[in-house]
Amino acid sequence: MLLSLHIENIALIRKLEIDFGPHFNVLTGETGAGKSILIDSIGLLLGDRFDKSLIRTGETEATVSCLLCELAEDTLSQLGEMGISPDEDGCVQLSRCVSADGRSRARINGISVSLTQLKSVGEAAISILGQGDHQLLRDETAYRAFLDRFADDHKELDAYDDIYRQYTAVSAEMTKLSGDESERIRKMDMLRYQLREIEELKLTPGEDRRLLEEEQVVKSAERIEKNARYAYTALKGAEKANVLLWLEKSAAALEKLGDVVPDAAAMAEQLKECAYKAEDVAGQVYDLLAFHHDEDPEAVLDRLETRLAAIERLKKKYGASVDEILTYAAKVRGELQTLSCADDRLIELQQQKQRLEEQLEEKATRLHEVRVAAADALSARIVETLRYLDMENVAFSVEVNRLPQTKEGNYRAHGCDDVGFLISANKGEAKRSLAKVASGGELARIMLAMQTAISGRENVRTFIFDEIDTGVSGKTARKLGVKLLSLSRSVQVLCVTHSAQVASLSDAHYKISKHSDGERTQTQVVLLDEGGRLDEISRIMGGISVTEAQRRAAAEMIGERETVLSGF
C-alpha cells in the first residue's frame, strides 16, 4: 500500500508531500493543474524513463520517493535477495533522483540499487492504469498475458518455459550441425589450418611478456655488463679490498671484544648477517655477468626479435596476447571435435529433442487445461461487471484454442495456445474480436472489469487509475465509481478523475491546483474536508459559476456513499 509520496522539483512542483488513505482516494483539479505530473512521478519509481526537461526551471535535479507498507510475501522475498529488510513497521522507502545531465540514482531504504531492481519492486506493489492503457486491449497478442494473470498459472507456465528453453537450445544446435555438408568440411579444413599454424609455434603461456623483458635486457647488455662488473668487484671480486672481506674482518675484530664490551657479540652477528646478504647479492650479480658471456648479444637479440615477429603475426589473427591465442586454439579444438562428431551428436540431439517434445506436450496440455478453466471464470466475471456498468446486452468470452501440432512441432514460448477476447455489445450481433469492435468507452469499462477480476489474484496492493472514466458519463460513470469503491475494500485505489459521480464516492478526496506568488507558479495538493469536498464536487458538475442546485446535487451524491457502502 502507498502510504505517502514526496516530490521535489518536477515541473510545477517545488516540494510536495501527500499521505494517502488505505481505501478509495480520488484526485481532482482543473486541466493543467498537475494531475498528470503526480502520476508521472509515481511512474519514475516504477522505472519509467525520465525527460530531463521536466526538471523545474532553475534546478539541477529532481527527487521522487514513496513509502510502501503491507508488502506481499513475494515482494519481501525479492527485497531479501537484495539484502534489504523493511523497517520495524514493515515499511520500505523507494526513491529516485534524476539530474539535468541525465543521470539517475535509485535507492530502497537508503541503499543504492539498480533501476531494474527499483522497477521490479515498484511494479510488484503498484499498478498504474493510464489514460491510454486500455488501448492494450486492442492488441490481441496481450490477451494471453491477461488470462495468465487471472489464472495465476505461473507454476505451470514456469514448468513449460523451462522445458521450452531446453528445447530451443537443442533445436538451434541441431540446425547448426545439420548445415550443408560441404560447408562443414570447408570449416573443418579452415579450423585445422588455424590450429596447425598456432601449434607449430609451440607457444607457452605468457611467453610474449617474457620475451619482451628479455629483449630489453639484451638491448641494455653493455650497461648491465659495466655496472654489474663494478658491483661484483666491490662486493667480492677485488682480491684485497671488497665488501665481504671487510665485513668478515670487522666481525672477527668485534668478537675479540666480547669479554669486555657487552654488545660486541651482537654487533658481530649483525655484520655476519650483512655478509651473508652481500654474498647472496654478489652471486646474483655474477649470474648477470655469466649470462652475457654465454652468447653473443647480437645473436641473442636476433633470435628474440625473430620469435616476437612470429608471435606478432599470430596476434593479428587470433588474439592480442599469447594467452588469448592459446585460448582461441582451445576453442578451435572444441569446434573441430564437435564438427568431426556431428553425426553422432545429431543422433544424440534428436533423442534429446524427442524426450523434450514429450515433456513439452505434457506441460502444454496441463497449461491449456488451466487456461480453459480460467477463461470460463474470467468471462463470467467480466460479463457480470460489464452488465452492471450498463452494457446490459453484452456477450463476452475468452476463447483458448490449442495450436495444431505439425511434423516439425508447433511449440512456442508461453505455451501452445491462441487466446482471443470476443465481444458483442448488442443483441443479435455475433461476437467478434474485442480489438476490432470495442469503442473507447467500452474498452475503459472492460479494462476496469479486467483489473477488478485480477486484483484479488496478484500481489499488487495499490491500483492507480488515471482518468479511466474517459468516455463514460451519467449513470454509467456512477456505477464505475461504485466498482472502484468496491475494489478499494480489498486493495488501495487511487483515481484521477473529472467525474463528480466517481469523486463523490471516495474515502479521501485530494484537490490539485496551481498558484502563483507573482514570480513562480507551483502545484499544490490539499486533502479536502467535508466543506471543501462539497465545493469541489459542485465545481466538477460544471457551469461558469456554482449554483445552489449544483451544491444540493453534490451533497446528495456525497450522501449516497454510505448507502452504497452498506450494499457491499
Name the pLDDT band for 325 (thresholds 50, 70, 90).
very high
196 lies in some domain? no
Of 267, 299, 320, the last residue of a domain is: 320
135 pLDDT exceeds 70? no
pLDDT value, residue 405: 74
Q: Which of 320, 355, 379 is the C-terminal boundary of a domain?
A: 320
- Kindly state whether residues 127 and 212 are assigned to the same domain: no
Beta bridge partners of 402: 417
Identify the domain containing residue 9 by its residue range.
Answer: 2-131+467-566
342-346: long-range contacts (C-beta < 8 A, 24 or more apart)?
342/177, 342/184, 345/173, 345/177, 346/174, 346/177, 346/178
> What's the pLDDT band for 458 if we cut at 50, 70, 90?
low
Q: Is residue 152 part of a domain?
A: no
Question: Considering the domain boundaries, does residue 369 fall inside one?
Answer: no
Looking at 303, 320, 337, the residue that finishes a domain is 320
Q: Average pLDDT, stretch 473-481?
A: 86
Q: Is 317 in contact with 199 (CB distance < 8 Å)?
A: no
Look up the CATH number of the domain holding residue 75: 3.40.50.300
Same structural domain for residues 116 and 213?
no
Give the closest residue to 235 by CA, choosing from 282, 280, 275. 282
In a domain, 26, yes or no: yes
Instruction: Tell me if 476 sits within 8 A of 19, measured CB to CB.
Output: no
**315 and 212: one domain?**
yes
pLDDT tens track for 234-243: 888 887 778 8
Judge whether residue 289 has pLDDT over 80.
no
Contact between residue 364 and residue 401 where contact means Cβ atoms under 8 Å apart: no
Span 159-183, average pLDDT: 86
Give the pLDDT of residue 185.
82
Percent of the chain topping pLDDT 90: 42
Q: Specify whether the CB–CB gap between 394 and 424 falls below 8 A.
A: yes
Look at residue 294 and tell me whether its pLDDT is greater than 70: no
Q: How confident is the model at residue 427 (pLDDT cuts 50, 70, 90)?
A: confident
Residue 447 lies in a domain: no
Residue 169 placed within a domain: no
Pure H helices in 389-459: 434-437, 440-455
**pLDDT tens column, 48-72:** 888 888 888 888 999 999 999 988 8
In a domain, 326, yes or no: no
Radius of gyration of the CA atoms of the chain, in A: 40
The pTM (predicted TM-score) of the whole model is 0.64
Number of domains in the chain: 2
Overall size of the chain counted in residues? 568
Is residue 241 in some structural domain?
Answer: yes
Backbone angles phi, psi at 159, to 5 degrees: -65, -40
Contact 265, 255 (CB under 8 A): yes
**Same domain, residue pair 8 and 118:** yes
- Give the per-residue pLDDT at 141: 81
- Please choose, from the candidates 62, 65, 63, 64, the residue with its C-alpha nearest in 3D space to the C-alpha of residue 100: 62
